[in-house]
Structure 1
Amino acid sequence: MNIRQRIGLVLLLCLFASIGSAFAQTLSTSPEQQSDAWWTGPMLANSAETLPPGHFLFEPYLYDIRTPHTDSFGSRAYILYGLVNRLSVGVIPVIGYNKVSNGPNSSSVGVGDWSLQAQYRLTEFHQGSWIPTIAIQLQETLPTGKYDELGHRPSDGLGSGVYTTTAAINSQTYVWLPNGRIVRLRLDVSEALSGSARVRGVSVYGTDANFQGLAKPGNTFFADLAMEYSLTQRWVLAVDFTYGHNGNTQVTGLDFADPSNIPSPQNVRSNSGSSAEFGVAPAIEYNWSPRIGVLLGTRVIFGGHNTVGSVTPAIAVNYVY
């Protein structure tokens, strides 16, 4: 994490702490209880809570990442289990399909990069206190998706080919407004570090059919400030505000063909450069009970430095048992 990212993290944490401190008196005197609002969670920010031992959470998402000339349809499901007090573990399976306007679509629905996750809760919010719920989360993303040797279908690329370790701090608190309704706030920050991948042929890294070499994605920093407003016990309005910074991805290797198709290895070295992006994700939630609800929202990524803008409508169901 560079100095700019660390300063941003400190500012976000200070903002979150000041919100909790400013409303501490309101929290301690409000007659409303947390059970007066049911939640599915915002579209993007992870919860800082952990499941009680022996309980499951199942939250599948369906989405369409829309960029110029491409629709990336996908499903990401969070399957979590309360292992012991304060500790939840789980798996995040991903599948996808790419539809493109300037080439062949994916040959079929394929598997993306799946992740394993563990979260340990350090503190827990109590009504009347300014201390939020805080948890440490570790996630290991596995290179299960296809990423190279794509031939004439680059759109079959749904993975990265690398192992990625992500460490995150998730936090959550509640604010009672003068009208008696409840606002739930989340602040999540994370840093992801990736290994390198051997690459052959056409790949998600933009290499051609004659390439052999290595790809090394840069580190990724991500911050998410989310707010949920309980219109009623069942209906909730939510929004995420996000910032992401991606480090340089380097590709090095050899290209084994010259223009006359005579094998003649040429050194290849390319750098994507770093990128930054800002996003917002408004959503609406409806909850049938404290255990099950549905979310409908849209994430909008604004084109920043070396970033292509995108619009991603999504729907998710959250079920705890």
Structure 2
Amino acid sequence: MASQAKGSVVVTPTDKQTHELPEQWYTGSLFSPSPALPEAGMAAAEPYVSAGVPIGAYNSSGALKKNKAQTSISNYVLMKYAVTDHLSLYLLPTYSYSWGNHTKHSGVKFNDLPFELQYRFTPHYSPSFTVFLGFNAPVGSYTNLANASEGVGRGVWSIRYGVHSQLVYPFFSHAMRIRLWAVANQPVSSARLRNISSYGTEKGFAGRGHAGPTGNEGMSLEFGITKKWVIALDLYHNWAASNEIKGLYRQTKKHYYNRTGWSGLFNVGPALEYNWSPNMGAIAGVILPVAGHNASRTLQTQCAVFAMF
């Protein structure tokens, strides 16, 4: 019987699919989330390296302008463990480092930490429907910074929630996998700010930052050229609601209030996957913002290795 695989996750097709779908191995696209793992005791790890090069910014009307920003490199490791056949635990620790733009480098920084539970309602991996629920822990630097480049956190606890669906179907005698998702983060606390912060305050400031919700939604396509080689494409939208900052500059006794505008960014992410086996693969590609407003435009080159245990 032919099968569909994501890492070592083997998906048993229906009787009709058995005659139509070739055996296909996947690593997963650059950005899309994946369903809860299908078998208790399974574990997955996917270390990424991402380099971000600033290439401008979008203003409030969507026009592209020059932007002074630093080049950055990030390492994050997607980790997942199947508690049951339907419930998985997800964790994404991230480190980053930035430099350039005539500003002191940030040093290696540990970012805010997302973790969540993922529950798959369907008994199979494809088609599937999964819901996410978890938190973002405020462990990244965000206040009393030496310079703004050190800001890699928001200083607030946030609830993470979302939905995900996945389907594999035959396309010109090859396997095509489609993923659709929507994920959001709702802050449930405020951040105490001192001096330079990731909220844009300067030295001498004392006050609080109220972060707005953030999220993303999109779709990914993965087309199997051969059993081992896959072309992937992400199409997704990032958004962030307004942040509110209130406080006082101590030396001048000047009260400060600012409310940022909503921001949005549409991205495309072409990539190429190669899978050595159903248990291990690799992916490399680039994520490019193509439109947006009130947002930085950064070209991101990414590569990752995926392993299933």
8 Å contact kept, 1:112–1:158: yes
8 Å contact kept, 2:21–2:170: no
Write the letter of the residue equivalent to 2:144.
E
State the match for 1:58 in structure 2: 45
* Residue aligned with 2:25, SS: coil
State the match for 2:184 in structure 1: 191
Question: What per-residue deviation string (whole Å, max 9, x for no partner) do you get for residues 106-131 of structure 1?
Answer: 1x21211112121000114588xxxx
Runs of 4+ aligned structure 1 residues displaced above 6 Å come to none
Write the letter of the residue equivalent to 2:193.
V
Write the letter of the residue equivalent to 1:217.
A
2:250 counterpart (227, 248, 256): 256
The Cα shift of 1:302 comes to 2.8
Paired residues in the alignment total 282
1:90 aligned onto 2:90:
yes
State the match for 2:216 in structure 1: 222
State the match for 1:280 in structure 2: 268
State the match for 2:131 in structure 1: 136
The Cα shift of 1:100 comes to 2.4
State the match for 1:181 in structure 2: 174
* Residue aligned with 1:42, SS: coil
Q: 1:124 to 1:239 in 2, by over 3 A?
A: farther
In structure 2, C-alpha distance between the alignment counterparts of 1:308 and 1:158, rounded to whole Å: 15
8 Å contact kept, 2:38–2:124: no
Write the letter of the residue equivalent to 1:190.
V
1:236 aligned onto 2:230:
yes
Q: 1:210 to 1:124 in 2, by over 3 A?
A: same
8 Å contact kept, 1:125–1:173: no
1:114 aligned onto 2:109:
no
The Cα shift of 1:90 comes to 3.0
8 Å contact kept, 1:27–1:175: no
In structure 2, C-alpha distance between the alignment counterparts of 1:33 and 1:175, rounded to whole Å: 7
Structure showing the higher strand proportion among its residues? 2
| Unmatched 5+ stretches in structure 2 | 1-13, 56-68
The Cα shift of 1:139 comes to 2.8
Q: 1:29 to 1:141 in 2, by over 3 A?
A: closer
In structure 1, C-alpha distance between the alignment counterparts of 2:74 and 2:164, rounded to whole Å: 25
Question: What per-residue deviation string (whole Å, max 9, x for no partner) do you get for residues 88-110 of structure 1?
Answer: 1132111110112131111x212
1:302 aligned onto 2:290:
yes
Q: 1:27 to 1:76 in 2, by over 3 A?
A: farther
* Residue aligned with 1:248, SS: coil
* Residue aligned with 1:198, SS: strand
Q: Percent identity?
A: 28
Q: 1:279 to 1:54 in 2, by over 3 A?
A: same
Structure showing the higher helix proportion among its residues? 1
Write the letter of the residue equivalent to 2:73.
F
* Residue aligned with 2:292, SS: coil
In structure 2, C-alpha distance between the alignment counterparts of 1:266 and 1:217, rounded to whole Å: 22
State the match for 2:302 in structure 1: 314
State the match for 2:28 in structure 1: 41
8 Å contact kept, 1:149–1:203: yes
8 Å contact kept, 1:147–1:161: yes
The Cα shift of 1:49 comes to 3.6
| Unmatched 5+ stretches in structure 1 | 1-25, 259-264
Q: TM-score, normalised by structure 2?
A: 0.87
1:80 aligned onto 2:80:
yes
Write the letter of the residue equivalent to 1:81.
Y
Write the letter of the residue equivalent to 2:295.
T
Write the letter of the residue equivalent to 1:73.
I
* Residue aligned with 1:160, SS: coil
State the match for 1:157 in structure 2: 151
Question: What per-residue deviation string (whole Å, max 9, x for no partner) do you get for residues 26-72 of structure 1?
Answer: 993662446x1100001111112424211210111110122143112
* Residue aligned with 2:275, SS: strand
Q: TM-score, normalised by structure 1?
A: 0.84
8 Å contact kept, 1:189–1:223: yes
Write the letter of the residue equivalent to 2:33.
N
The Cα shift of 1:303 comes to 4.3
| Relative contact order, higher structure (CA 8 A, sep 6+) | 2
The Cα shift of 1:133 comes to 0.3
